[in-house]
Structure 1
Amino acid sequence: MTATAPSRPFDAVLCDIDNVIRHYDSAALTALERAAGLPEGTTARIAFAPEVVLPLLLGAITPREWVESITAGFAEQGVLDAAAARPLAVALPGSPFAADQEVVALLRRVREEAGLPLVLVSNASVSLEDDLAGLGLAKLADHVVSSARVGVAKPDPRIYAIAVEYAGVAAERCLFVDDSRENVDAALALGMSALHYRIPADLRDALAPAFTTLR
């Protein structure tokens, strides 16, 4: 009797970008916060408040306008006046970033070796495509779904539906990868397999079935 190869549990991968593929270096921002006598993370708390960041993620404002909103947020909360806040507001989106090459290699392998569609799904600004090109990742995936381009952001089910359509398989046959528990839970609610990402080993283990079926 001939052994039958195990079937894989997914036929496409939908993957987040920030804090999975791309990571920011916040050292300069942290130094500015300390110099201003602020707790580390103050700028991020103001910048990523829904009322401040959602217009950016939905493509309603530019990154430059987001800086102005962050600056205004400092003043409105009585943290710093506009002149003192602006360098911090500029430093957050200006933080240098780099790609995790171990994650990139895993995603390239699942697409090129296992032959699975790869769709990147990101809550991002209109600069995402340029950022990916700068990292040399413009061709990493089959498709990129940016919230700023489609006008909906995770965990809204509509952005998942767009990504699934690009993947060309049923939602139940997609593996969704994200560092946000809220976003992962939304994918699970739609019937997807999902990975709450923390470290590259998590992704390696989650993708392993795509390769074992090739043996």
Structure 2
Amino acid sequence: MRRYARRARRTAPVRAVVFDIGGVLEFTPSLGVTDKWERRLGLPAGELNRLAGDVWRGGSDGTLTEDGVNRALGERLGIDQVIVASLMSDVWTEYLGTLNTELCSYARGLRPRYRTGILSNSFVGCREREQSRYGFEQLVDDLVYSHEVGMAKPDPRIYRLSCERLGVSPEETVFVDDNAACVEAASALGFHTVHFRDTAQTIAAIDGRLAAG
């Protein structure tokens, strides 16, 4: 009986596809923001992230609000809020990147036959900006942002939360990410996984998983 149950889980039909954002639904190449601001502030290489590391973490896990991030950056870097606003404008430009229109169009076409979701390691303020620019809330059935739930990939809990909110199991879900560690963590939980390398490869891999049932 147990042997049959394990086999049934492995062969469960796919009912959902979950996408990462940065590097997948968005193209987010480095624009050299950290180097630019270290030069502007007269900081040695690596110093900006050393000084602001816990601020970035607080924005990622939701323990800081946007205002809290801005105040903390001003204090850590010794700059006023006008300069903080300029720094964060550059950070957001790099963070938001440009839309992967081909993959987003593909994702939109999966509904309503499949449930679709987003599972993203994020930063406080990104939901509003991504919604304004890209309309992700209309693209998929559910969005899980790390800063809103207080956990991040590759923590197994956040993958399970995404499944719970979509009403599916990991074995019924294809998960797409460009980060190998996040892909490996999902695979260990029973997800069908696709490691994003380029859009054509990813669409072909998802189609292959869906065709297999």
- Shorter-chain TM-score bucket reads 0.7 to 0.9
- Between stretches 120-129 and 196-205, larger displacement belongs to 120-129
Q: Name the structure 1 match of 2:62.
A: 59
C-alpha separation between the residues in 1 aligned to 2:92 and 2:51? 9
- Partners of 1:140 and 1:117 lie apart in 2 by 11
Superposed, 1:140-179 pairs within 5 Å as 140-179=139-178
Matched, 1:125 2:128: no
**Any idea what SS the aligned residue of 2:36 has?**
helix
Q: Does 1:14 align with 2:12?
A: no
SS at match of 1:57: helix
TM-score (norm 2): 0.74
Partner of 2:205: 206
CA distance in 2: counterparts of 1:208 and 1:186, whole angstroms: 22
Distance in 1, Cα, partners of 2:175 & 2:44: 34
The 1:103/1:197 distance shift into structure 2, 3 A limit, reads: same
**Mind listing any 5+ residue stretches in structure 1 that lack a counterpart?**
1-6, 76-80
| Distance (whole Å) between structure 2 residues aligned to residue 136 and residue 161 of structure 1 | 24
| Aligned pairs, number | 198
Distance 1:211 1:164, change over 3 A: closer
Amino-acid identity (%): 28
Q: For residue 185 of structure 1, what is the amino acid of its counterpart?
A: E
Q: Distance between the aligned counterparts of 2:55 and 2:157, measured in 1? A: 22
Return the TM-score normalized by structure 1: 0.73
* Structure 2 Cα separation of the partners of residues 98 and 174 of structure 1: 26
RMSD between aligned alpha carbons? 3.4
Paired residues of 2:61 and 2:146 also in contact (CA < 8 A):
yes
- Partner SS state of residue 158, structure 2: helix
Paired residue secondary structure (2:201): helix
